Structures are given as structure tokens and as C-alpha cells.
Amino acid sequence: MNKTNKDVIVVGFALFAMFFGAGNLIFPPFLGVISGESWITGFSGFVIADVGLALLAIIAAAKCGGDINKVLGRPGKNLSIVLGTAIMICLGPLLAIPRTAATTFEMGVAPLFSGVNPVLFSVIFFAITLILTIRPSKVVDIIGEFLTPALLIALAVLIIKGIISPLGAINPKPMIEHVFAEGVAQGYQTMDALGAVALSTVVITSLGNKGYTDAKEKVKLTIKSGVVAAIGLCFVYGGLTYLGATVSKIYGQDVAQTTLIVEMTASLLGKPGKIILSAIVGLACLTTAVGLTSATGQFFENLTKGKLKYEVVVIVVCIFSAIVSNFGVSTIIKFSAPILDMVYPVTIVLVIMTLFGNKIKNNNAFKGAAYMALIISILPFANKFGLDTSFLSKLPFAPLGFNWIVPVVIAGVIGNFIPSIDNNEIKDRIDRAN
């Protein structure tokens, strides 16, 4: 195997592991339970909304050199900074990173070692994260060469055992009416497209450190690595969804997602299953924490043009995340999820438009689409102030969580017909007027 192909596989493995957090572990089995024999249909919807959007985000970010501000920049610099900062704070120390430690403790440590102090565990978890993150050039290699193979082996043991010895017969009837739509909705909830935009920065940096200096080559290799990660995610998601389908006659819609994966693992592998699950959760969360911590450090270093050093940012992120993680998974999600709900649609819109950026010449098309996505995402919170927003549930694609699509398309088309004047042209007009 030549060096380039090896690098693509290593980077692809790293991307897979950075995407595959504990949330990605618990969604597919539950989808399998409620889908029954239609689990492939549900799985298809999940893959489109999760892996599909994430792959598009990787391609868009790669075309922009891994710079989040360029992906978000066409609607204007101010919106780009606000959105980029909100995304990185949520993916960073406010939500995703502390959630990795909290989930590892609740699902991987507490069931095995009841006496472990959660504060002590968070300190140890983020000390390891910091050690693996402090040198950005080594992040992808550490994850891709060492941590991902261990994660894949642990997942393979669970999935293969479930295929060879199914836990039960698959329910012939799904528990829900719109299986594909439910798959899309659950895939959408993983919000991996946000992570893809951020993690592409880590990938681009790694490829540069490996000696790839040509911009087009780095884009090409980043996209290939994204495809490797996407293939791995599809196989794992498919296996986990099938495992859920095999217990669709045992559990109902009311089963807790974390409880489901714990009990499935125990039924398949007995007492060693707790150790296997602990390894899966720990590795999945650690690789995600490492990737997102590194991405956060690089983002704020670039945003401040080096005034905030990468090393300083990752140290602060690890300390802050260690503190927040002790509030527990449910509290973290409750506090931060609304912010993600607001920034996710506009990010998807800008990712997709970036893919066709060469064909969309008018920046007002980007502005119209972006601000409309933001408005539709913010409106649900207006209920608290007495504003009736029930019309949002009647918009096209609302059941799939995509009620913003049609308004965004309309706003983008309208914006495209409004002449765009750049700063240089404004300056020229002022000079001529004087």
C-alpha cells in the first residue's frame, strides 16, 4: 500500500471515530426496535440524514480549506463570526465535549465501578484528552492508528455476536407509521453535519503536516477520507439497527435508549458485555472529545489570528469541560440543545450552498437563505412570549424536522434577484460622489 492510500485510510478511520460518539451508539438500536422488519427503511433514512449530511459538510469544508468562516462567510462577516463561535462553543466546552465524559461515566464506568467519584473521573478523562490533543499534528494519527481499530474491534464483537445469535424474532409490524421519516428525524438529531464542518479543520491540518501542500490535493484526500469514514459509519449503523430489530418483540417505544443498549449487550455477551460496552463507550467518547477539542483550539487560534494560542485554548476547553461534565448528560443537553437547534439549519443551508458556490454569484442569495433559516429556527422560542407559531408545524417537511426548507429556498431565490454590492464597489461609488 502506497503512502497516500495509507494516509487516506488513517485519516478516514480518525474521522469515523471522531463522528462516532455515544449518541451515535444509542440512536440506531432504538430505531431498529420501533421499525421491526422495516429496519432497513428506517436505517436508510437515518444514513441519509446523518452520514449524507456529514459527507456533504466535509466536502464543503474541504473546498474552503477547512476554514469554518469561509463556509459560513458568504452571508457576511458578522454572521459568520457569530455562527462559527456558537457552533464551536456548543461542539466544544458547552455541550458535546463535556457530554462525552458524562456519558462515559454514566454508561461505561458507573455500571462497572459503583464507587468511582465522578469529579475524579472527569479530571482523569480530560487529562487524557489534553495529552492526546496538545499537539495538533498528532491528533489524527493517534486516533486513526490506535484508538479507532480498538473501537472497531469492540463494535465488531457486539454486532457479529448479535448476527450469529439473534436475541429474538423481528416484529413483522413497525411500531410507527412513517418509518423512513423517523429514520431521517433521528439521523438529523445527531447533528453530525456541525461536527463535520469543525472536524475538517483537523483533517486539513493533519494532511498538511503529512507533507501534502497542494490545496487541490488536500481537498481530494479529505473527500476520500470522508468517504472511508462514511462507509464505516454505514456498516456500524446498519449492524446496530439490525440488533435493535432483533429485540423489537421484547421492548416497546417507551424503552430508554441507554437502557436498551446496556441490556442488549448484557444479553449478547453476559458479564463480559459490560466490559465490552464500557470499552465501546469510552473509546467512542474519547475519540470524539479529542477531535472536537483540537478543532475548537484551531478555530479560535485562526479567528483571533494567533492571539489565542492553540495550546491555551485546548487547556481552557479541557478544564471548563471537566467542570461542566459533572452536571450530567441530561442537564447538559437541556441547557445547550436549544442553541444547537438554532444554528444547525442555517449551517446545513450554507454547507449545501457552498457546494454550489461557483454557480451562485450573488451573495444576497446566501444572505436571504441564511437569515430565513435562522428566523425559522428562532421562532419556536417565541412561544414563551405568547406568539403563536403553530404554523411552523404545517410547513412542508415539518414532520421530518425540515420545516425551514421551503421558506429558505424562497428567500434564497428572492435574494438572488437583489443586486449585490461588495465593499470595493461601495468605496468606488463614494469616491466618485466626492
Whole-number pLDDT of residue 422: 57
In a domain? residue 349: no
Given 305, 338, 371, the domain boundary residue is 338
328: left (phi over 0), alpha (psi -120 to 50) or beta: left
Q: Are residues 158 and 196 in the same domain?
A: yes
Whole-number pLDDT of residue 427: 46
Boundaries of domain holding 422: 360-434
Range name among 24-28, 34-38, 227-231, 303-307 with the lowest pLDDT average? 24-28
What is the DSSP code string of 174-208? -SSS-HHHHHHHHHHHT-HHHHHHHHHHHHHHHHH
More confident residue, 243 or 134: 243
The amino acid present at 92, given as its one-letter code, is G
More confident residue, 128 or 385: 128
Given 272, 307, 338, the domain boundary residue is 338
Q: What is the CATH number of the domain that holds 322?
A: 1.20.1740.10
In a domain? residue 343: no
210-243 residue pLDDT tens = 888 888 888 899 889 999 999 999 999 999 999 9
Range name among 272-281, 302-311, 405-414 with the lowest pLDDT average? 272-281
Distance, CA of 71 to CA of 63 (rounded, Å): 9
Q: Are residues 392 and 273 in the same domain?
A: no
Measured N-to-C along each axis, helices 192-209 and 329-355 cross at an angle, to the nearest 10 degrees, of 70
Collapsed DSSP state (helix, strand, coil) of residue 135: coil
Whole-number pLDDT of residue 433: 45
39-77 residue pLDDT tens = 999 999 999 988 998 899 888 888 888 778 888 888 888
Whole-number pLDDT of residue 414: 96
Q: What is the pTM of this model?
A: 0.82
74-119 residue pLDDT tens = 888 888 888 888 888 888 888 889 988 988 898 888 888 888 899 9
Q: Are residues 278 and 392 in the same domain?
A: no
Distance, CA of 182 to CA of 179 (rounded, Å): 5
More confident residue, 388 or 22: 388
Alpha-carbon distances, residue 322 vs 97, 161, 329 (angstroms): 9, 35, 13
Q: Are residues 11 and 138 in the same domain?
A: yes
What mean pLDDT do residues 316-328 have?
Answer: 92
What is the pLDDT confidence band of residue 416, given thresholds at 50, 70 and 90?
A: very high
For residues 16-29, one letter each, b for 16 or more C-beta atoms within 10 angstroms of the residue's C-beta and e for the rest, the string is bbbbbbbbbbbbbb
The mean pLDDT of the chain is 86
What is the pLDDT confidence band of residue 22, given thresholds at 50, 70 and 90?
A: low
Percent over 90 (pLDDT), the chain: 36
What mean pLDDT do residues 260-272 have?
Answer: 89
Percent over 70 (pLDDT), the chain: 95
Q: Are residues 176 and 324 in the same domain?
A: yes
**What are φ and ψ of residue 6, in 5° steps?**
-65, -40
